[in-house]
Structures are given as C-alpha cells and as structure tokens.
Amino acid sequence: MIARTINLTVVCFFAVTFALSQDIADAPKKVITFLHTVETKNCFVSYVTINGKKYIVKQKKEYKKQLAVVRDALSAWIAEVLGIAHRVDIVSDKTEFTGKIKQHFPATLHTLAPGKTVREQRNIKYNALRLRQFWAQATSPMEKGLTRSIIMHMTWHHQLPEIVALDLLIGNSDRHCGNLCYDPDTDTFCAIDMDDTFNKDLCQLAREKLVLILQTDKVPFSRQEIYALRRMRDTLKFLIRRHTPEDIIAKLYFFAQKAGFCKGSKLYNDRIRRKLLSYEEMIIQTHASARKLIILLDKIIARRSDKA
C-alpha cells in the first residue's frame, strides 16, 4: 500500500443526508475535516472527520469498476440486521465531497469498523482463520466454495457462522483476513469491503460441496461443527425472510440511482444496464438456492441429532 498523506485540513459543508447514523442523518449541514488518503492497487481510501467523528471515503480507481459502490452499499445494508458489518452509504457522482479524489465519480462513505483487521493482529488465534470461499481462484475443486476447513473454522467463534451465511447470500467469495475486523476488547467481528458480490451463486456451490463431503469424507461432522452449521442455517433463514428478492432488487436500483447509474446520467450506458440486470437475476437465483441449501442443512443437522 502506498500512503499519500496530505498535510492540509479542508473544512467544508454539505447538504446531503446520509443514513449512516443518527448524528449524520438529522443535520442538513456538517463540517468535514480531511485527514489523509491511502492509495491501494485498486482504490483511494480517504479518512475524514464529520463533526468530529471519523469516517472513510472510498473510491475505485478504474472507470469500469465504479459500479462496485452499489454492491458495497447493498451488501452492508443486508448485513445491517445482523450487526456484523460496518455501515456504508453512497456519495453521488454529482456531489462535491471532501475525501473524493475523483469528484466526477461516486464514492462510498463508511463507518469505521471496531478493532483492527485480523491480518494486522498477528499475535491472535484468528490470524490463522480461513473463511474464503474460493471461486475462480481455487487451485482445485476441493478448495472451492464451502469447504470442510471453513466449517471447522466456523467453530472458533459464534459470529463466524453468521458471517459465512451472509457471504453465501451476497455471493462474497473473498472473505480474507484483510476484510474481516476483530475487536479483542468486545470479542466481536466486523465484516468490511463487500463490493465483489452478487455475481456468483455460492449457495448452490455450498449445497454441492456438502453433498460431496457427505459422500467422500469418512469423518462425521463433530458436535461443534453441527452447532456452527445450525447457526449458519438459522442466519440464512433469517436473512431470506428479512430480505426478499424483491426488497433487495429495489434497494439495488435505489443505490444505483443514488450513485448516478440511471438514465440520463453520464455514468449510465448499456454495459451498466446489463450489469444491473445480471445482479438482479443472481439475487433471485441465490434466494432459490439458499432455500435448497437450508433443506439439506436441516437433514444434516437432524441426522446428527438422531445419532447423538
């Protein structure tokens, strides 16, 4: 990472309402103070304070990746009911905003996750945590999707099955130790950076992998693994009840319009239209697959309970 620290404090006002927290949403004007920007391979990440409270402004560098702001905000909105992710809102392409490096592009505004990323905390047990449900990057079919190793790692903490369930529903195959925060003071996790989502059906893949595990793995699921699978199943049930496909699709287009991806905007074109339609189709497909996955999990959990 290349740190670009700009030794200039910028103070401005804005008249945009954000739904991140009560102290932002209720006031028509806020004082924003710029702190510094960190430049990564793909993003500009700027730190600002709004009326004394610290936030992150994030932008993708490439023009063709700007739609990521919609996926990131939508994923965080779905996760909000679980209390396991930071909150994300969108800054429009038309809004002049301190911390936006490219003012003509949209950005996301993030609350800070408590603690630090697991990757940064090398002296804790969770640094060895592996929850990534590989998709294209898998070196073999056995490493793809919901593996036996992930199921074992879910037993390490009661929030981890909830995070895996969330990733299943939003199609996040990139849950690594750099986008998962842990706060040792409260013993809680927080999921961040969920913009590579809604483009794959991880629920269907998880169902296929569980069938394969049952057929080929001679070691039965332990009591702890069954408990983790039960928590994952219950979280998945809760999410699909709370967020119907129609609700998620409506929010998808709400965030798209807020970012500037709508007819009449310079950002909108046929490629964007087709991308949004593909996300819409994947949301519907994943919900159907989630229901089938839950049925299989019911059978696995009941079978283990009968033997106990």
In order of 118, 191, 293, the CA distances from 176 in angstroms are 9, 10, 23
Q: pLDDT at position 138, please?
A: 83
Query: What is the distance of C-alpha 168 from the center of its chain?
Result: 11
- CA dist 289 and 269 (Å) reads 30
- Global confidence as pTM: 0.90
Q: pLDDT at position 303, please?
A: 84
Q: In the structure, what pLDDT confidence band is assigned to residue 137 with cuts at 50, 70 and 90? A: confident
More confident residue, 139 or 288: 288
More confident residue, 12 or 40: 40
Q: pLDDT at position 9, please?
A: 30
Q: In the structure, what pLDDT confidence band is assigned to residue 29 with cuts at 50, 70 and 90? A: low
Averaged pLDDT, 115-120: 97
Predicted confidence (pLDDT) at residue 88 exceeds the cutoff of 70: yes
Predicted confidence (pLDDT) at residue 5 exceeds the cutoff of 50: no
Q: pLDDT at position 23, please?
A: 36
How many C-alpha atoms does 190 have within 13 Å on its Cβ side? 19
In order of 120, 128, 240, 257, 283, the CA distances from 244 in angstroms are 36, 35, 6, 20, 9
Predicted confidence (pLDDT) at residue 266 exceeds the cutoff of 70: yes
More confident residue, 107 or 5: 107
Q: pLDDT at position 22, please?
A: 41
Q: What are phi and psi of 261, to 5 degrees?
A: -90, 70
Averaged pLDDT, 279-292: 98
Average pLDDT, rounded, for the chain:
89
Q: pLDDT at position 141, please?
A: 79
